[in-house]
Amino acid sequence: MKAVCWMGKSNVETLTVKDPELLNPHDAIIKITRTAICGSDLHLYDGFIPTMESGDILGHEFMGIVEEVGKEVTNLRRGDRVVVPFTIACGNCLFCRKKLWSACDNSNPNAHLMEAAYGYSGSGLFGYSHMMGGYAGGQAQYARVPFANVGPLKIESNLPDEKVLFLSDIFPTGYMAAENAQIQPGDTVAVWGCGPVGQFAIASAFMLGAARVIAIDRLPERLALARGLGAITVDYSEEDVSVLTALKDLTGGVGPDGCIDAVGLEAHSAQLQGTYDKIKVALLMETDRSSVLRQAIQAIRKGGTLSIPGVYGGLLDKVPFGAAFGKGITMKMGQTNMHNYMKPLLERIENGQIDPSYIISHRITLDQAPEMYKVWRDKKENVTKIVIDPWAETAA
């Protein structure tokens, strides 16, 4: 089959590899009909996440048709149409029973690598480094899905792939981000980053009762999408714009009740701080660029809740912890507990409350993926979301 492989920093190739096979009794093989490139893939592309190896198959947002199931998979059959969550969960450990699916004890074959770095290991993820399980990803024609009895969501309606594909990650991720912001009706919520995760965080904040959402980014096409959802936008790159002042101004001097960092460790910064982080990262004195996190801690109101869906991987520098303590804020974060959200969010799509496909800007083939990784990283061509048809020979 064809698959998009990580071959080193800033180097992705579409290669022919062998087809996946069933390896465990709860596995399924999925013939992938649609897959996508995520903002998280950029952290791999840019070399921020350790334990990637050349040849690793990328991709964790995919859906398709069940091709084959292992002998213990009783709820799926060949021919079923499914969306696959990017976190792999066993369903039986203490954490799965507590519905903390992304903390599953039993899905990471390389748990010792993550234990060494983080104290304990989280669940395995598709296509996201050996530390996170080393599973082959879904930017391919087929994928092996472990614990297929627990994860994949069956799509029984005839909604097109593009409307349900994002249940594999970014819609639930944006939703959990809003839930983690502990929104009360009437709250004002600020969202940093208007990429796909930010978009769904904005939409979900409204669903959960926010009176006002303020969206922060610099890319005009993304800010326009945010305004389309009903948010007020702030372009942080504009001269004379201070995000802190803007958020104070727009909240009557109180500050946002909830703040959502939907940017993560590759935050871009126009100011000196950005240069500072770049140098420190280059010198290996910090591993992550944390300008958005710093800003959000500073901006949030007293007693507010900071939700962090944006990914961080290692050590952060100059995080104003005194401000966090001084204002008594709450912070919630982590990989999305996917399995809690897929079904209820599918219902919202089926009811016509939201059509997640509005963020798609590019539809490509697997062979185009390597060049599109670059476009996606550099935010060229007004890119907002790239969807891949793994069976198409020519671009749509």
Ligand X SMILES: NC(=O)c1ccc[n+]([C@@H]2O[C@H](COP(=O)([O-])OP(=O)(O)OC[C@H]3O[C@@H](n4cnc5c(N)ncnc54)[C@H](O)[C@@H]3O)[C@@H](O)[C@H]2O)c1
Site mask for other proteins (CB under 8 A), range 10-49, x = bound = ---x-x-xxxxx-xxxx-----------------------
- Interface size with other proteins, residues (CB under 8 A): 47
Size of the chain in residues: 396
> What residue 59 binds from other proteins, Zn ion, ligand X, none (CB within 5 to 8 A, per partner kind)?
none
- Quote the least distance from Cβ 13 to ligand X, whole Å: 21
97 interacts with other proteins by CB under 8 A? yes
What tokens were used for 337?
A: 């507990």
Q: Which of 310, 349, 359, 366 binds ligand X (CB under 6 A)?
A: 310
Assign 360 to helix, strand or coil: coil
- Of the two residues 146 and 309, which places its CB atom closer to ligand X in the complex? 309
Cβ contact 206:213 at 8 Å: yes
For the segment 74-93, give every residue that binds ligand X (CB under 6 A).
none
Closest CA to 217 of 201, 204, 209, 208: 201
Closest CA to 234 of 256, 211, 254: 256
266 interacts with Zn ion by CB under 5 A? no
Phi, psi values for residue 252, rounded to 5°: 60, 35
104 interacts with Zn ion by CB under 5 A? yes
- Quote the least distance from Cβ 99 to Zn ion, whole Å: 10
Q: How far is CA 204 from the centre of its chain?
A: 15
Site mask for Zn ion (CB under 5 A), range 37-66, x = bound = -x-x--------------------------
Q: How many CB atoms lie within 10 A of CB 90?
A: 20
Sort strands 28-37 and 2-6 into parallel, antiparallel or unpaired: unpaired
Cβ contact 381:363 at 8 Å: no
Q: Which of 47, 50, 55, 186 binds other proteins (CB under 8 A)?
A: 55
Residues with Cβ within 8 Å of 339's Cβ and at least 6 positions away in sequence, in order, are 85, 87, 89, 99, 101, 150, 151
Q: Which of 76, 90, 167, 203 binds other proteins (CB under 8 A)?
A: 90
364 interacts with ligand X by CB under 6 A? no
292 interacts with ligand X by CB under 6 A? yes
- Of the two residues 335 and 368, which places its CB atom closer to Zn ion in the complex? 335
> What residue 218 binds from other proteins, ligand X, Zn ion, none (CB within 5 to 8 A, per partner kind)?
ligand X
For the segment 202-241, give every residue that binds ligand X (CB under 6 A).
216-219, 222, 236
- Of the two residues 126 and 142, which places its CB atom closer to ligand X in the complex? 126
H or E segment at 69? strand 61-69
d(Cα 4, Cα 139) in Å, to the nearest integer? Answer: 6
Read out DSSP for 365-393? -GGGHHHHHHHHHHT-TT-S-EEE-TT-S
187 interacts with Zn ion by CB under 5 A? no
Site mask for other proteins (CB under 8 A), range 141-160, x = bound = ---x-xx-------------
> What residue 174 binds from other proteins, ligand X, Zn ion, none (CB within 5 to 8 A, per partner kind)?
none
Sort strands 188-192 and 212-217 into parallel, antiparallel or unpaired: parallel
Distances (CA, A) of 316 to 264, 265, 271, 291: 11, 9, 18, 10
> What residue 181 binds from other proteins, ligand X, Zn ion, none (CB within 5 to 8 A, per partner kind)?
none
Q: Which of 93, 211, 232, 241 binds Zn ion (CB under 5 A)?
A: 93
- Of the two residues 117 and 279, which places its CB atom closer to other proteins in the complex? 117
Sort strands 386-388 and 362-364 into parallel, antiparallel or unpaired: parallel
Q: Give the CA angle between residues 88, 89, 94 to the nearest 5°.
A: 150
By CB under 6 A, name the binding residues for ligand X. 38-40, 42-43, 169-170, 173, 192-198, 216-219, 222, 236, 262-264, 267-269, 291-292, 309-311, 335-336
Report the interface residues with Zn ion, using CB under 5 A: 38, 40, 89-90, 93, 96, 104, 106, 169
